[in-house]
A and B are shown apart, each in its own frame.
Chain A
Amino acid sequence: MQINLTLNGAEQSADVEPRYLLVDYIRGTGNTGTHIGCDTTSCGACTVLVNGTPMKSCTMFAVQANGTSITTVEGLKQNGELHPIQTAFKEKHGLQCGFCTPGMMLTGVALLEENDDPTEDEIRWAISGNICRCTGYVNIVKAVQHAGSLIREN
């Protein structure tokens, strides 16, 4: 099937089988920051923004992304500048192995779009669909809070 979509601001078209998973389509375009962790809708490593909303791309078919606009971690940087969430993860050491990080950051971006000054509880609730096996979440929470303050300062 023919699909047309916007991926990190660039128009794409492709001819895909209906069962082709969105995550594999995205990774196939070279955007390998979108990870496959569990492949069973549980971990959130494959999270991307579909029209601004976090979705698990291992649980969508690429054909379902027809006509949408998708943002992956590669799309966060704008005009050569890191997105505040990226700066914040770097400054607050919000990652260890980095496997969960793209999903965490995209979920964080969607949260901060709705509320740029979330409480710790609100952050923990928002990222509860993203699993991290390394950090214990403390610095991830701090990073999201810090990103909020960077956004508010701007």
Chain B
Amino acid sequence: MYPPAFNYSAPTSVEEVLTTLTNEGDGARVLAGGQSLIPMMKLRLASPAFLVDINGVAGLDYINDVNGHVAIGALVRHNDIVKSDTISSTNHTMASAAPWIADPIVRNRGTLCGSVAHCDPEGDWNSVMLAARAEVVAQSASGERVIPIDDFIVDFFTNSLQPGEIVKEVRVPKYSGRGGGAYMKLERKIGDYATVGVASQFELDGDGKIAQAGIALTAVNAKNTRATAAEQVLVGETPSDELFREAGEAAAQAAEPETNVRGTAEWKREVVSVYTRRGLETALAQAQA
């Protein structure tokens, strides 16, 4: 299968990427791992006139622990996250999600920032980013702005980047106290998108009460969705089985799944409830470890 013809450039610096995007205007798209964009182009669901390939840009493959957050550059592949000690020692939710993104070969090429930019409601990373309250650093020829993930995800396959902007990095805050998290994903087989995915994360204060909580859902709404009511159930409370069950039920209320080949709406809602509870139990064990 072949996409319609397009023009292509492979700049070697961020500046050059940004000038090319500005010059080429609306028809230009960033090509990162290409693991979503190329299949879409081959199926002619996307037909950009110009591809700006960022794979040759030096210095975008960093995972840096700085100023209370971990910064993940635009060319960090899913598999780099699987292998990263910085990630496994700072954010359990990311560490548990990474091995479940796509399959091992796709993970060698696809990027975290590309997934975040893509805003596929069946994509896993944006739920993890919502739970972790990440920020997206957008860069254009005229400068940088930092966008909270809630404002970045606009709708399915729609982000809030302006023309000429790229995702330069994603910033994942580190726990300020004791914290834990998990990404629970139900998939039919390896390489399949989630039937249901739930990211749960929280931090404990000095008294062992939940200081801050993040819960977000994959594949059960038109976009990755924060389960705000479930978070509110948790904050200020002491962790308990009963509390986690209540949060699970609240999370299920935030899901508006569709019945499709992957299962019925009713069943998916039930999975959200169970996976929220189990994710929170895992998070608690980590926070207390």
- Alpha-carbon separation in the docked complex, A67 to B10 (Å): 12
The reply on B51 being an interface residue by CB < 8 A is yes
- Minimum CB–CB distance for B248 against chain A, Å: 29
When the two chains form their complex, are residues B104 and A126 in contact, meaning their CB atoms are under 8 A apart? yes
When the two chains form their complex, are residues A56 and B8 in contact, meaning their CB atoms are under 8 A apart? no
- Alpha-carbon separation in the docked complex, A41 to B110 (Å): 12
- Alpha-carbon separation in the docked complex, A39 to B56 (Å): 25
- Alpha-carbon separation in the docked complex, A66 to B103 (Å): 25
- Minimum CB–CB distance for B97 against chain A, Å: 16
The reply on A42 being an interface residue by CB < 8 A is yes
From B1, B7, B34, B55, give the contact of A18 (CB < 8 A).
B7
- A41-B39, A42-B191, A60-B38 known; A129-B105 Cβ under 8 A: yes
B-side contacts of A60, CB under 8 Å = 34, 38, 109
The reply on A151 being an interface residue by CB < 8 A is no
- Minimum CB–CB distance for B194 against chain A, Å: 16
- Minimum CB–CB distance for A118 against chain B, Å: 13
Q: State which residues 239-271 of B face A: CB under 8 Å.
A: none
- Minimum CB–CB distance for B247 against chain A, Å: 31
> Among the listed stretches A7-15, A47-55, A93-101, which one makes contact with chain B, having 4 or more residues with CB under 8 Å of it?
A47-55
How many pairs of residues, A versus B, come closer than 8 Å at their CB atoms?
74
B-side contacts of A127, CB under 8 Å = 104
Digit string of B2-36 for contact with A (CB within 8 Å is 1, else 0)? Answer: 11111110100000000000000000000000110
From A17, A39, A47, A125, give the contact of B1 (CB < 8 A).
A39
When the two chains form their complex, are residues A19 and B105 in contact, meaning their CB atoms are under 8 A apart? no
When the two chains form their complex, are residues A47 and B8 in contact, meaning their CB atoms are under 8 A apart? no
Total contacting residues, chain B, CB less than 8 A: 28
Total contacting residues, chain A, CB less than 8 A: 29
The reply on B108 being an interface residue by CB < 8 A is yes
Q: Is the interface of B mostly helix, strand, loop or mixed?
A: loop
Chain B residue at minimal CB-CB distance from A47: B105
When the two chains form their complex, are residues B190 and A18 in contact, meaning their CB atoms are under 8 A apart? no
- A61-B38, A128-B191 known; A56-B51 Cβ under 8 A: no
Digit string of B100-125 for contact with A (CB within 8 Å is 1, else 0)? Answer: 00111110110000000000000000
- Minimum CB–CB distance for A149 against chain B, Å: 22
When the two chains form their complex, are residues A18 and B39 in contact, meaning their CB atoms are under 8 A apart? no
From A18, A55, A64, A66, give the contact of B105 (CB < 8 A).
A55
The reply on B145 being an interface residue by CB < 8 A is no
User: Which residues of B are in contact with A by a Cβ distance under 8 Å?
Assistant: 1-8, 10, 34-35, 38-39, 42-43, 51, 53, 55-56, 102-106, 108-109, 190-191
17 further interface pairs, Cβ-Cβ under 8 Å (given A60-B38, A64-B34): A18-B5, A39-B1, A40-B43, A44-B105, A56-B105, A59-B34, A60-B109, A61-B8, A61-B34, A63-B10, A64-B10, A64-B55, A66-B10, A67-B56, A125-B104, A128-B191, A129-B191
User: Which residues of A are in contact with B by a Cβ distance under 8 Å?
Assistant: 1, 17-19, 21, 39-42, 44, 47, 53-56, 59-61, 63-64, 66-67, 107, 125-130
